[in-house]
Amino acid sequence: MERSFAQSQINFINKTLLNMAVGLFITFLAAYGSSYLIGYTSYGLILIAAVAEIAIVLYLSARINKLSPSAARGWFFLYAALNGFTLSIIFMAYSINTISVVFLLTALMFLSSAMIGMNTKKDLTALGQFAMMLVIGLILATIMQLFLHLSGLNFMISIIGIIAFCGLTAYDMQKIKRFHMEAYSHGEVEVSRFVIIMALQLYLDFINLFLYVLRLFKDN
């Protein structure tokens, strides 16, 4: 029984990371392709896609217990594609070299934070709560900066954003074990559903971390 549970947990983590990776790949392809297909006049379409993304996240969160694992995965990959479309503007504002360097730095930060979350024996709930408080502060600071344009605030927002999402990555990686334990008692179908939810959370951690690291870079 213990061996079966341990193997199930390993499979759960592997499938979560695999789905997250596939989501990131879909986002990259959609962003790169869309940057060639649309121009700066397509902000209206980008806004529509952003609203659709929010709707998908809300739908997945509310219906995850009723969706089949394949349907949940389909919605997640659709979200990843729409997110790629909204992020296509990045390929218009930054060179591919800058984006590649930022992606590599983000991957290293993400993996380091994930390893801490997986291996530490300390409960990271307090860290997760603190990181969420930082995220709320970031939202308020970003709104304030839109009106005040304070010197140096963008740099501070970027640093705090990196700290917040590194913390959330560590917390969410640790939370994978708790989610698996909860789903395991309800059967394999429930485990498969929770894989998608955790993949979405880690995907969002990575994307936000990438965006805050990107803010520190400016092309010549």
Per run of 10 residues, the mean pLDDT along the chain (length 220 residues) is 68 90 95 74 72 87 81 92 89 87 96 92 92 92 82 88 95 85 65 84 95 79
Q: What is the pLDDT of residue 63?
A: 81
Flag whether 105 is in a domain.
yes
Number of helices (H) and strands (E) in the chain: give both, helices first.
8, 0
Q: Are 162 and 208 spatial neighbours (Cβ–Cβ below 8 Å)?
A: no
Flag whether 46 is in a domain.
yes
33 lies in which domain range? 2-214
| Overall number of domains in the chain | 1
Q: What is the pLDDT of residue 59?
A: 87
Flag whether 220 is in a domain.
no
pTM of the entire predicted model = 0.89
Q: Which residue has the tokens 């549970």?
A: 5
Q: Are 128 and 167 spatial neighbours (Cβ–Cβ below 8 Å)?
A: yes
Flag whether 119 is in a domain.
yes
Flag whether 56 is in a domain.
yes
Flag whether 106 is in a domain.
yes
Flag whether 219 is in a domain.
no
Q: What is the pLDDT of residue 145?
A: 81
Cα(79)–Cα(73) distance, integer angstroms: 10
Flag whether 175 is in a domain.
yes
